[in-house]
């Protein structure tokens, strides 16, 4: 895969780059940690599941021009992921994020998720981006609110109330 420079995002503290096979070890560490990934759609992954997902995530960049970014500090330390991905339930393109437990609480998820949301609207041209969070997941809900996403619907899943958030970019065309 050739990484297009437009796909790389730099913020004040972070560098977001499309995931590649070189990220596999860090992705396994993140996605196999229940403290980081238990609340994500599909839950904690095995190493083989992470490798299989990574192959699809790499393809998404070529297919859609957006996908999963590895989130790193400017000095290179892996911190987590942020993503724009088509949801399997048909709700649309969703913003997703997960950070390693030891880096939480410093506003990094807000910084990464906000940058991905802006990329989705401004670079990828997505008119609507959704995010889904458990009603009980106050940390994720706080991130979504902080980046300007608003709750627009609810649905039940496995005994939990799930909240749908959205970010809508209006154009001059309508």
Say whether pLDDT at 39 is over 50. yes
Read off the pLDDT of each residue in 138-152 and give the average, rounded to a whole number. Answer: 97
> pLDDT at position 99, please?
96
Read off the pLDDT of each residue in 75-94 and give the average, rounded to a whole number. Answer: 95
> pLDDT at position 174, please?
47
> pLDDT at position 50, please?
96
Q: What is the pTM of this model?
A: 0.93
> pLDDT at position 93, please?
98
CATH class of the region 5-125: alpha beta
The tens digit of pLDDT for each residue in 3-32 reads 677 899 999 999 999 999 999 999 999 999
Read off the pLDDT of each residue in 123-136 and give the average, rounded to a whole number. Answer: 96
Q: What is the 3-state secondary structure (H, E, C) of the chain?
A: CCCCHHHCEECCCEEEEECCHHHHHHHHHHHCCHHHHCCCCCCCCCHHHHHHHHHHHHHHHHHHCCCEEEEEECCCCEEEEEEEEECCCCCCEEEEEEECHHHCCCCHHHHHHHHHHHHHHHCCCCCEEEEEEECCCHHHHHHHHHCCCEEEEEEEECCEEEEEEEEECCCCCC
> pLDDT at position 2, please?
57
Say whether pLDDT at 71 is over 90. yes
């Amino acid at each position: 895969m050739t990484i297009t420079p437009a796909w790389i995002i730099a913020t004040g503290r972070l560098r977001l780059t499309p995931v590649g096979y070189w990220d596999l070890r860090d992705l396994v560490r993140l996605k196999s940690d229940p403290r980081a990934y238990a609340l994500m759609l599909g839950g904690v992954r095995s190493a083989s599941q992470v490798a299989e997902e990574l192959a699809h995530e790499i393809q998404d960049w070529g297919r859609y021009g957006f996908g999963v970014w590895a989130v790193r500090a400017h000095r290179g330390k892996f911190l987590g992921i942020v993503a724009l991905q088509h949801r399997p339930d048909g709700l649309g393109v969703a913003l997703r994020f997960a950070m390693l437990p030891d880096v939480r609480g410093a506003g990094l998820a807000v910084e990464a998720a906000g940058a991905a949301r802006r990329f989705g609207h401004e670079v990828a041209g997505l008119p609507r981006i959704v995010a889904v969070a458990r009603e009980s997941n106050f940390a994720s809900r706080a991130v979504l609110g902080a980046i300007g996403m608003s709750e627009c619907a609810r649905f039940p899943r496995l005994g939990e109330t799930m909240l749908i958030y959205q970010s809508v970019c209006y154009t001059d065309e309508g």
